Amino acid sequence: MLTKRIIPCLDIKNGRTVKGVNFVDLRDAGDPVELAAKYAETGADELVFLDISATEERRKTLADLVLRVAEKINIPFTVGGGISSVEDVDVLLQNGADKVSINSSAVKNPQLINDLAAKFGSQCVVVAIDAKQIEGKWTVHLVGGKVPTELDLFEWAKEVEQRGAGEILFTSMDHDGTKNGFADEALAKLSTMLNIPIIASGGAGTMQHFTDTFKNGKSDAALAASVFHFHEIDIPELKQVLKKNNIPVRI
């Protein structure tokens, strides 16, 4: 059985790690290079780096900061934010990223998923989907959750898989930063209907929430930010708890 992955997420704005609630009210969470090194040392399975304002500010991801982080870690490293072309990905991979995460650009130009998968391989392509429930329907949002679309979460996820994405990073905007648990019902539906790994994001508050998303949400990985950044959950301890709950993890 594949081990379940624990993934800290560094949301970057103006070169600093930040964290908000429901995608707003951001507060500083520290230096991304220092945080990345700490997570690599304390048992994180992967690291995700999201330049959260790159798309909104119409600029590229901070390649130099990516390089500084990559030099400090020895675990798989996914980078997202402002990526809109094969050339953008080339630069990030040359600067130490192992995978890239695309979101708004994938919706605006779905062919980009095909192009990246063809050039770099599906294992390199993570499609991030931010969605919230509106009148009972999971609606996909863009530009850091600021722009609603007509897309349905499940229909878009299926298309993303068919186009060659290797993983989906699903963030429930309703759960983000609330610490009330992941959107396990939606995650279980995604995991059941798709054949690629699903990363759960949005809502981690307790160790039980991680157990729940692996058992009930059928998630392949769980991503969190503030509970790790502000020392509310310790990754080595979390993994011991998961192991006791018969969830396969890398210790």
Instruction: Judge whether 32 and 248 are in contact, CB under 8 Å.
Output: no
Report the SS3 class of residue 48.
strand
What angle (nearest 5°) sits at the alpha carbon of residue 136, between those of residues 135 and 137?
A: 95
Nearest of 171, 163, 235 to residue 199 by alpha carbon: 171
Q: pLDDT below 70 — which residues of the chain? A: 1, 15, 19-29, 53-61
CA 10, CA 232: separation in Å to the nearest integer?
Answer: 16
Q: Which domains does the chain carry?
A: 5-244 (3.20.20.70)
CA 187, CA 183: separation in Å to the nearest integer?
Answer: 6
Q: Which helix (H) or strand (E) holds 167?
A: strand 167-172
Looking at residue 53, what is its pLDDT? 66
Looking at residue 25, what is its pLDDT? 53
Active centre residues (catalytic): 11, 130
Looking at residue 13, what is its pLDDT? 78
Q: Please give the distance of CA 6 from its chain centroid, rounded to a whole number.
A: 11
> Alpha-carbon dihedral of residues 220, 225, 228, 229, nearest 10 degrees?
160
Please, what is the average pLDDT of the chain?
Answer: 91
Looking at residue 81, what is its pLDDT? 86
Instruction: Judge whether 231 and 238 are in contact, CB under 8 Å.
Output: no
Instruction: Judge whether 88 and 61 are in contact, CB under 8 Å.
Output: yes
